[in-house]
Structures are given as structure tokens and as C-alpha cells.
Amino acid sequence: MEGGTTRLANLLQGCIDKKAHLAGKLIHAFILRNKGLFFDTFLSNRLIELYSKCGNMGYAHHVFDKMPRPDVYSWNAILGCFCKAGSLRDAQELFLKMPERNTVSWNTLITALVRNGQEEKALGVYDAMVLEGLVPTHFTLASVFSACGALLAVEHGRRCHGLVIKIGLEENMYVGNALLCMYAKCGLIRDATQVFGDMAEPNEVTFTAMMGGLKQTDRVTEALEMFRLMCRKGVRIDSVSLSSMLGVCAKGCGEFGVYDHIDGIPSNVNGQQIHGLTVKLGFEGDLHLNNSLLDMYAKSADMNSAEKVFANIPVVSVVSWNVMITGYGLIYQSQKALEYLQRMQSCGFEPDEVTYINLLSACVKSGDIKSGRQMFDNISCPNVISWNAILSGYFQNEDYKEVIQLFREMQFRDVQPDRTTLAIALSSSAAMGILGAGREIHAASHKAAFDTDIYVASGLIGMYSKSGKIEMAKHIFHNMQELDVVCWNSMIVGLSLNSQDKEAFTYFKQMRQHEMHPTQFSYATVLSCCAKVASSFQGKQVHAQITKDGYMSDVFVGSALIGMYCKCGDVDGARNFFDMMPSKSTVSWNEMIHGYAQNGRGDEAVLLYWDMIASAERPDGITFVAVLTACSHSGLVDAGIKIFNSMDQEHGVEPVLDHYTCIIDSLGRAGRFQEAEVLLDEMPYKDDPVIWEILLSSCRVHANVSLAKRAADELIRLDPQNSAPYVLLANIYSSLGRWDEARAVRDLMSDKQVIKDPGYSWIEYEKGMQSGMGMITSC
């Protein structure tokens, strides 16, 4: 009988190896017919193993239940069966019922928990195993290191590392690779390198893990060197290591553009070399590797090469289509991405959530918010990343109302916002100036426990500041346990927005006292505060600090310095600094031209404008407002007309209201009303009161009654209850002695019940301020 049992056991082992389910069942039937064999524990264990391997849980459990004397191997076999089927709750219950457990029992459960993403439970089981005095094997430790890596549980991993050394498993390849992976995933490259260096014969798994860790910590060059070392040592290169290297190359490629900005070498040259090695080693048909190639080319913006790879893949997957869609999104070609969606569907592939998320991202980056919304609506249960993408799209489109509406919908769907969601929503609320919506978002951030997050707090400070609730902004600021430079900047900007510039400067000094290093934005903001209070003394202090901190060459800060000096009346100081700037932006030129205009030095403003044109710097709308203002205030009418006419013709800048206002003001001041009227008849801003008010003021100076009457009529048409046109027209008639017409205007004003606001005068004295009131008697 014993020899028969051995033969049956060998036959069952063959069935297990080949997953021969039917043959195994025939042997099982033979065993059942022989009563003596049925009670053999060894054969029953093999049967459980067979049914487990073939995925027949019912038969495995049935055999176990019928066993009269199950031993520890029987319990381990059925435990393994549950684990393999993914029935982890049943497996854990069975584990607790086991009358006896050995190392295999513990290993089986720990490994299953790790494979199913329950790493914390796995570590808990491991700790219990050690407490029971069992010595873990290399299988145990490999699973535990995997769990530590997934959880970034470095300290737990270090304790296990100590145990590895204690029990003498440090030279085990399986354990060494798992340990190295753990350190790499936790970003501890120095520790990973130490483990790598201690390994006698690192294999392809070792090198791949090391390259992955270097990639994760952005050490692309070192990862490439590691791959070269792998090649020099003659370590077998498999598709996994090649795929890992392509991931490294993708990370090393420039964000946009195929060529390196310095020497014109393709940014994906390393990836191209790996591609060549892939062909040489015969991996052209490997789908995962081909998808990695697509990803590398897509991230380097080389979609022509990606197209060639895609066309030659023997069998594509949904992942392949998704990578191509993402690639076109990265280069802002949403239409090509949408074309790939249509091709994908026509080839019989069903888009998944990732497809729509990638398309959403592509459309948002390309500014195609309409198509982006369609993609968003196709996602059945959008996650927070998808919500952030569509919110960002509407925010970039300045459709702040839709951002707030979508944010509310997100709340109704019970999707938890993150710091990015809240920041976009707060910025939208601030841009709209709707305090109620901002408070709703504040409440949502409190509910989601993000109100103390530095990133969100900065947005809250900005929102309340822009809504005029500066005290609330201060309250949030002072209740923060930790502050970063963004929070300080938000607070300083908020104070400046609310005309508390002196206090803003005080906060700037406190920021420095807290050893917080100001950024370019900090300096630009505080310089703006100095300019508004015309404090050149404080401005010079900030200038000295800028020099000390090494921001003198920053264009953004330099432009703010020019603006500060000009607004404080030190135009020559501003010009000296302007001339010393190593590089200038359009903003720098605009600030200097505007500074000359503000200080009545129109000739120099115009000369500087021509210098700007000669330097090939492209003027923008603000440039023309500055130089036309200078021409108007300095009587340079012909120069102003010439510059105005060149805007659209030579520089492609279409004149808007501010430009027409400047040129009408210039012509009016010079008394050239005929030209002003021609321009008035041609311009598209006839219904803007500012133009007519400027013209009416000029008519008063030059006593042009007919045009003054036209301007007053237009203003009365636009706003019948505005007293200004009545008063100005009546004053013009009175100054010319045309009393009847002046009286008629006053009567018209009385008939329409237009009330002239009283004029105020005030005087400051030691104990406060006193004001006097009196009606303007000229009307």
C-alpha cells in the first residue's frame, strides 16, 4: 500500500505541475474507491494543493473538511488556497483557528496581504510572528520589505534590516533586492547604494531597482550611469530593465521640444539608444516595452517617433492609445488627441476612465474647454484629479462663475476636495469679489481639515483681502501655526490692496525678522507700497536689501524699482538704474516711459519709446498708454498721432478705449477739435462717458460751444442724472456771457431733478480734521 501511495502522490504532483484538473479528479475518484487511501493525510494534502492550483476552491475545501486528521501541512494548504483565491477575510479567520502554525503559515498570510495591498495588516502579522519567537525566512523578509516600501515605513524597514544582519541573510539575493527596493522607494538613495555596494553579484532585478530609485529622486544622470555599469558587467538585460530605463529617459527629456536648448542635441537621445537596444535584443513585440517607448517619445514631445512606434506595435492595448492621447495633450494639440479617441473607438477599443482623464487634460492644456467639458461629463465617477483639471480649465478661461458652480456640484457628489481644488475655487471667488462664495469655500476647507494648510491659508488670505475683509485675512494669518513665504506675500499684498501700505511695510520687516527670505514677488509688492506712500527713504532701504540678496538682475524686481523711484519723483535715479539693467522686459520699458509721463517729461518718454522700438523689444497696449499719455500731457500732439497710427499698422496692437482717450485728450488740449471729431466718428467707443467728459473739459478751456453742446448731450443721454455735463455746459455759457442759454441748462437740470452734490473742503489741525461744506455757486 505504501508503494501505491507514493505512486499516487507522484501522479498528483505531475497534475499539480501541469494544472491537469481532469486527470487529478480521476486520481481523486480512484482514491475515494479505495477506503484506505481516502484517509491518507499526505494524499489529501496533495489533492488540496491540486484543486487550489486549478482554482477549484469548492473541491479543495471539501477535501479538507473530510480529512479525519489534518496536520499543519493540511492547514497550510487550505490557507494557501484561500489566499490564492483572494479570500483574505476567510484566510485570516482560518489562520486564527489553526491548532498549529509554522513559518510557512505566517509567510503565506503575510505574502497574500502584501500582494492584495493590505501592507499595514501584513506588518501587524509579521510583528506578531516575531513576538511568538519564530525566525522569519527570506520569503518573509522579502514580503515585509515590500510592505515597508509601499507604506514608506522606513523605521520599520530599518529594524527588519537589523534582523537580516542578525540572522545572517544579508547575502541572500532575494532579501538584498527587496531591501534595496524598499530604500529606493523611500527615496533613501544613500542607503540603497550601500546595500547595492554590499551585494556580491547584483542581478538584473538589483540594477532595475537601483535605477528606479535614482529615477524617483530625479537623479537621471546617475540612473543612466547605472545602466551603463549593468551593460559593462554583462548582466542580463530583460524587457523590465529596458522599460525602467525608458522611464528614466522620459524623465530626463525636456518638458517641451525635441532638441536641447543649448547644443541642439535631441533631448531624447538616450531614449533613442535604448530603443535601438530593444530592437537589437529582439524585444520589438513586447507590448509593455513598446508602451514605455511610446511614453518616452510622448514626454519628449517627439510625436513623429511615437507615431512610428505605434504603427509598428503588433498588438496595441488601451494603454497604448492612452499614451498617444496624453502625448498630443502635452504639446497642446487637443484635436489630434480627439482624433485618436475616434480611431481608438473605430478599432473596437472601449475608452476607459484614464482615456477620458487624459483627453480632459489635453483639452484643458490646449484651451479647448468645450471639448474638455465633454470629456469630463463622460467620466462616470470623476476623482479629485479630474475635478481639478476641469476647474483649472475654466479658471484659465476666466469663467469664474462656472468654477464656483462646479465646486458646489463637487460638494453635492461628496468628492473630497484637496488643496489644489480649494486654491482654484478661492482664486475664482476672489476674482469675482463674491464674499459669500468665498465663505462657502472656507467652510468646505474647514470641513476637509485643510483650513490650516499653508497653501489653502494663503488662498483664504487673498480671498478675504480682495473682498475688503482685511481683518479676517489677518485673523487667518495670525492663527496659522506655521507660515511660509507665500502666506507672508499674500498678507503683504492684501494690506497693500486695502491701502494699508505702511502696515504692509511693517509686515515685510517682520517677515525678515522671522528669517523668511523674501522672493522676487515680496520685493515687487513692498516696492509698490513704498511708491504709493511716496516714501523714497523706505524704497532705498528695500533697494539695498535687494542688492544684498542678489536680486538686482531680476527683471521683475528691477521693473518694480523703476516704478518706485518714478512715483517718488526720482526719475533720474530710475533712469540710472534702468540703464544698468542687464536685461529688460517690456514691463521695464513701460515703467520707465510711464515714469517720464507722470513727471511731465514727455520728450524723454517719446525718445525712450523710440529706443525701445530700435532695441527690437515688442511694445504692448500698456506701452502705448504710457507714451500717448506723455504726449498728451506735454503737448506733443503730432508725435502722439504718429505713434497712435503705428499701433495696429506696424505693431499689431489694436487700439482700445484707453488709447482713444489719450489721443482725444491730446487733440482737445491743443484745440484741434476738427481732428478730434473725425476720430470720434470713427472710433468704436462712442458710448463711453470718459471720452465725452474729456472732450467737454477741453471745450471749456477753448470755449468751443458747439462741440461742448454735443459732448454734453451725449453725456446726458448716457446718464441723465449725472450733474457734471449740466454744470460744465452752464459754466461755459456763463463764461461767454450767454446767460439765457446758461439759465436754460439750469432749468433743464431742475426739470429732470438732477441734484448737484455739495463740494467739501477740509483742513487738518492738531486735534483732528474739520470739514466745511458749501454749494458750488457757479451753477
Q: What is residue 622's predicted lDDT score, i.e. its pLDDT?
A: 93
Provide the pLDDT confidence category of residue 769 given band limits of 50, 70 and 90: very low
201: CB partners within 8 A, 6+ apart: 173
Q: How many CB atoms lie within 10 A of CB 10?
A: 11
Give the length of the chain. Answer: 779
C-alpha 660/C-alpha 680 separation (Å) is 9
Q: What is residue 47's predicted lDDT score, i.e. its pLDDT?
A: 74
- Is the pLDDT at 760 greater than 70? The verdict is no
- Bridge partner list, 765: 768
- Is the pLDDT at 768 greater than 50? The verdict is no
> Which of 334-338, 339-343, 410-414, 729-733 shows the lowest per-residue confidence on average (mean pLDDT)?
729-733
Higher pLDDT, 757 or 503: 503
Higher pLDDT, 763 or 550: 550
- Is the pLDDT at 773 greater than 50? The verdict is no
Higher pLDDT, 37 or 210: 210
Higher pLDDT, 724 or 370: 370
**Structure letter (DSSP) for residue 756:** P
Positive or negative, the Cα torsion across 735, 740, 742, 743?
A: positive
Q: Cell digits for 33?
A: 474507491
> Across residues 705-723, what is the average pLDDT?
76
> Across residues 438-446, what is the average pLDDT?
87
For residues 75 and 44, the answer to whether their CB atoms sit within 8 Å is no
Q: What is the pLDDT of residues 596-649, one digit of tens each?
A: 998 889 999 999 999 999 998 899 999 999 999 999 888 899 999 999 999 988
Torsion of CA 452, 458, 464, 465, to 10 degrees: 150
> Across residues 243-262, what is the average pLDDT?
64
C-alpha 359/C-alpha 329 separation (Å) is 7
- Is the pLDDT at 364 greater than 60? The verdict is yes
Higher pLDDT, 53 or 610: 610
Closest CA to 30 of 12, 55, 53, 48: 12
pTM of the model: 0.60
Range 187-202 burial, b when 16+ CB lie within 10 A, else e: ebbebbbebbeebeeb
C-alpha 557/C-alpha 490 separation (Å) is 17
Q: Which residue has the cell 465646486?
A: 407
Q: What is residue 776's predicted lDDT score, i.e. its pLDDT?
A: 37
- Is the pLDDT at 70 greater than 80? The verdict is no
C-alpha 248/C-alpha 588 separation (Å) is 40
> Across residues 75-89, what is the average pLDDT?
82
Distances (CA, A) of 377 to 144, 370, 371: 42, 11, 10
Q: What is residue 608's predicted lDDT score, i.e. its pLDDT?
A: 94
> Across residues 285-296, what is the average pLDDT?
90
For residues 523 and 507, the answer to whether their CB atoms sit within 8 Å is no
Distances (CA, A) of 586 to 551, 555, 603, 615, 630: 18, 10, 20, 11, 17
- Bridge partner list, 764: 769
712: CB partners within 8 A, 6+ apart: 692, 696, 725, 726, 728, 729
Q: What is residue 257's predicted lDDT score, i.e. its pLDDT?
A: 43
Higher pLDDT, 16 or 287: 287
Q: What is residue 244's predicted lDDT score, i.e. its pLDDT?
A: 87
- Is the pLDDT at 491 greater than 70? The verdict is yes
> Across residues 166-177, what is the average pLDDT?
88
- Bridge partner list, 771: 762
Q: What is residue 263's predicted lDDT score, i.e. its pLDDT?
A: 44
**Best-predicted range by mean pLDDT (19-33, 619-633, 712-726, 747-761):** 619-633
> Across residues 353-366, what is the average pLDDT?
84
Q: Cell digits for 71?
A: 496536520
Share of the chain above pLDDT 70, in %: 89
Q: What is residue 406's predicted lDDT score, i.e. its pLDDT?
A: 92
Provide the pLDDT confidence category of residue 713 given band limits of 50, 70 and 90: confident
Q: What is the pLDDT of residues 515-568, one digit of tens each?
A: 888 888 888 888 888 888 777 788 888 888 888 878 887 888 888 888 888 888
| Average pLDDT score over the chain | 83
Q: Cell digits for 527?
A: 516696492
- Helical H segments across 615-723, by residue range: 621-633, 637-651, 657-669, 673-682, 689-702, 705-718
Backbone dihedral angles phi then psi of residue 768, each to the nearest 5 degrees: 155, -145
- With H, G, I as helix, E, B as strand and everything else as coil, classify residue 301: coil
> Which of 80-89, 150-159, 387-396, 652-661 shows the lowest per-residue confidence on average (mean pLDDT)?
80-89
> Which of 143-157, 196-210, 339-353, 714-728 shows the lowest per-residue confidence on average (mean pLDDT)?
714-728
Q: What is residue 408's predicted lDDT score, i.e. its pLDDT?
A: 92
762: CB partners within 8 A, 6+ apart: 769, 770, 771, 772
